Amino acid sequence: MLSPIAWSTPPKKYGPWESVVSLLTEGLVKRGIDVTLFATADSHTLAKLHAVCPRPYEEDKSILVKVCECLHISEVFERANEFDIIHNHFDYLPLTYSSLVNTPVVTTIHGISSRKILPVYKKYNDKTFYVSISDAYRCSELDYIATVRHGIDIQDFHFNENPQDYLLFLSRLHENKGAKEAIKVAKKTGRKLRMAGFIADQEYFETEVLPYIDNEQIIYEGHVDPKRKKELLSNASALLHMINYEEPFGLSVVEAMASGTPVIAMNRGSMPELIRDKETGFLINSVEEAAEAVQKVGSISRKKCRESVEKRFSVDRMVDDYIKVYEIILEKCKREFKMQK
Amino acid sequence: MLSPIAWSTPPKKYGPWESVVSLLTEGLVKRGIDVTLFATADSHTLAKLHAVCPRPYEEDKSILVKVCECLHISEVFERANEFDIIHNHFDYLPLTYSSLVNTPVVTTIHGISSRKILPVYKKYNDKTFYVSISDAYRCSELDYIATVRHGIDIQDFHFNENPQDYLLFLSRLHENKGAKEAIKVAKKTGRKLRMAGFIADQEYFETEVLPYIDNEQIIYEGHVDPKRKKELLSNASALLHMINYEEPFGLSVVEAMASGTPVIAMNRGSMPELIRDKETGFLINSVEEAAEAVQKVGSISRKKCRESVEKRFSVDRMVDDYIKVYEIILEKCKREFKMQK
């Protein structure tokens, strides 16, 4: 299991890719599967941990990212013969090592940051296996062996039937994530908005967010820890997810619903795969529609939100799905090996 | 032969690593050796060219360097079985692929940009082979199979016994290269200084160089092409090489001497390995000493400068040296292979 090293696995605060890797790894270990996790040295796991990078590079700016990355990646491939499958969660760079080993490589494509990285995915399209994290997030130029939507540890999220009276923005502070639009919805409806998440774009934060923070109606709590994040999620009357891009998956969306909190989200990217419109939230297309949805949020059963996640986004379901993927790959490789003989 | 892709091989103007790769590659081909050159697609060679990167990334800022680099490097390792030796001139990243193939890898360490890249060289110290480009440029923490100083195509440089009356600065415009100090020497001696080279540090250029350019005494000709470079070299009365760092090698120093032009250089890095003090130039320790040396430059025989390069820095000598390195490596690998059996 090759995790990114931007954050530890699991991450201390933010780190969605590392978070998924951790849940999957621990889930596989619980099923009795022998897993070696390649991650930063400060990671925690019941699997065997193999680490060359002492700390996450996002937490230690003295680290030369390129050096840590290539050492981290080469370690897993140098031990390839010990593994039946290499599961890559580390973007495209590991693909370029994959043809040099006999172990099959499956990559969960967590995000395609730019069309400029596509040539690598295309080169290894026929030689390795790709998993998409939502149907929406499939690239038409690539082949996928499956879609496996993320699961979360539902027990970790406190279900709250009686929320407080605030709306919640919980995400990176970046244009993509619609912090500005969330503020607009709060202003339009006169509701309190609590905001939390790390500042991913300082200029955006200073021009589009900071001027509106009055710590009465619009409150920014900073980059909160997981404990506070869960409190914020379960006490919110609704999560505002006013994204400005085709989001591949929204972990906070699922986490909100697990806490009983309906989600008002722009109807794009993976949102229709996560939210059932008018059942577990509202899929909307503008700030105006979001403001209308805020008025109707009482019509959503918070219990149904929780149940929907229990059914569709549990860690167990994700682990089951990935085990199925591994089985298909091993079967394919066995067949090919026989054909070669 | 794995060349960098910052510039084409050979480079159109600047690109010292690519320049050495080109001279070595063409020299090996002339000896009848079967060479495949991995370089940008706009490169020129009599070897077999294998290219995935259409243009040098320094000439096309739309290229995502990381993507081009990993595609470029993986290609040579994916074809490793076709080669007896992989000769890496591409910094440290290729080392992390080297343990995944059986072909021996030798790396010419052209430069160590930061101590932070040393962990990669140290990891592969016992598994691959390193060549240093001067004795001065050896890192005590690494083992080297040889020092091979660069050679140049001497016929390419016009020998001129009767130079004009200017001093020359020919290098990147960067603090390391001592553009500021060259100007000081010119000012102190009242001599004309011609400067050429690309601006590697805009701020340095604007504060330390630009204010002194009057296009009478201090003339900046920009990033000149190879033709103009050779003219400048052969017509100069001396090259000023007032470096502020331990320069691993100085191609322009050798090129100047090949043109008959003595070099006044700071006595550090590889300079004592290139220049014979008072015979082919002056090894000095300050601007003051450089100014004194300028007065004495007439005492240097320009013919001796040329002869020194013919003896010590020809392409043929470099090609001979590398062939010896290859032979030692192949012999070592044969022995180890036998021992394993």
Collect all residues of chain B within an 8 Å Cβ-Cβ radius of residue A67.
92, 116-117, 119-120
**Cis peptide bond upstream of B248, omega within 30:** no
Collect all residues of chain A within an 8 Å Cβ-Cβ radius of residue B74.
96-97, 99-100
> B341 pLDDT exceeds 70?
no
Q: What digits encode the pLDDT tens for the residues A86-139?
A: 999 999 999 999 999 999 999 999 999 899 999 999 999 999 999 999 999 999
Q: What is the pLDDT of residue B13?
A: 83
Do residue A66 and residue B123 have CB atoms under 8 angstroms apart? no
**What one-character DSSP code corresponds to residue B209?**
I
Q: What is the pLDDT of residue B318?
A: 98
Q: Model-level pTM? A: 0.90
Collect all residues of chain A within an 8 Å Cβ-Cβ radius of residue B120.
67, 70-71
Q: In chain B, pLDDT over 70 holds for what percent of residues?
A: 100
Collect all residues of chain B within an 8 Å Cβ-Cβ radius of residue A76.
none
Residue A340 carries which side chain, given as an amino acid letter?
A: Q
CB-based contact A294:A262 (threshold 8 Å):
no
Q: Give the residue among B252, B242, B253 at the shortest CA–CA distance from B186.
A: B242
> B340 pLDDT exceeds 80?
no
Q: What digits encode the pLDDT tens for the residues A211-237?
A: 999 999 999 999 999 899 999 999 999
User: Above 0.90 for ipTM, yes or no?
Assistant: no
H/E segment holding residue B203: helix B202-204
Do residue A97 and residue B97 have CB atoms under 8 angstroms apart? yes
**Least CB-CB distance to A116: which of B67, B93, B101?**
B67
Q: Which residue in this structure is represented by tokens 């190879």?
A: B226
Q: What is the pLDDT of residue B338?
A: 79
Q: Which residue in this structure is represented by tokens 């090489």?
A: B241
Q: What digits encode the pLDDT tens for the residues B290-329?
A: 999 999 999 999 999 999 999 999 999 999 999 999 999 9
Do residue B123 and residue A70 have CB atoms under 8 angstroms apart? no
**Least CB-CB distance to B116: which of A67, A100, A119?**
A67
**Cis peptide bond upstream of B10, omega within 30:** yes
**Least CB-CB distance to B114: which of A64, A100, A117?**
A64
Q: What is the pLDDT of residue A14?
A: 85
Q: What digits encode the pLDDT tens for the residues B91-146?
A: 999 999 999 999 999 999 999 989 999 999 999 999 999 999 999 999 999 999 99
Tokens found for residue A60: 């230690």
> B336 pLDDT exceeds 90?
no
Q: Please name the residue of chain B whose CA is at the shortest distance from the CA of residue A115.
A: B64
> B1 pLDDT exceeds 70?
yes
Rounded Cα–Cα distance for residues B54 and B60 (Å)? 10
Tokens found for residue A303: 């219990």
**Helix A16-30 and helix A315-340: axis angle, to 10°?**
80
Residues B156-165: b if buried by 16+ CB within 10 A, e if exposed: ebebbeebee
C-alpha distances out from residue B260 to A178, A307, B152, B295, B315, Å: 66, 85, 14, 17, 18
**Cross-strand pairs, A265:** A241, A283
Interface of A with B (CB under 8 A): 63-64, 66-67, 70-71, 73-74, 77-78, 80, 92-93, 96-97, 99-101, 114, 116-117, 119-120, 123
Rounded Cα–Cα distance for residues A135 and A249 (Å)? 10
Interface of B with A (CB under 8 A): 63-64, 66-67, 70-71, 73-74, 77-78, 80, 92-93, 96-97, 99-101, 114, 116-117, 119-120, 123
Counted across chains A and B, CB pairs separated by less than 8 A come out at 63
**Least CB-CB distance to A100: which of B67, B78, B114?**
B78
Rounded Cα–Cα distance for residues B299 and B295 (Å)? 9
Do residue B77 and residue A71 have CB atoms under 8 angstroms apart? no
Do residue A96 and residue B74 have CB atoms under 8 angstroms apart? yes
Collect all residues of chain B within an 8 Å Cβ-Cβ radius of residue A120.
67, 70-71
Q: What digits encode the pLDDT tens for the residues B6-22?
A: 999 999 988 999 999 99
DSSP assignment of A78-97: HTGGG-S-EEE-S-STTHHH
pLDDT (average), residues A244-263: 96
Q: What is the pLDDT of residue A341?
A: 67
Tokens found for residue B36: 């495949």
**What one-character DSSP code corresponds to residue B142?**
S
Collect all residues of chain A within an 8 Å Cβ-Cβ radius of residue B99.
74, 78
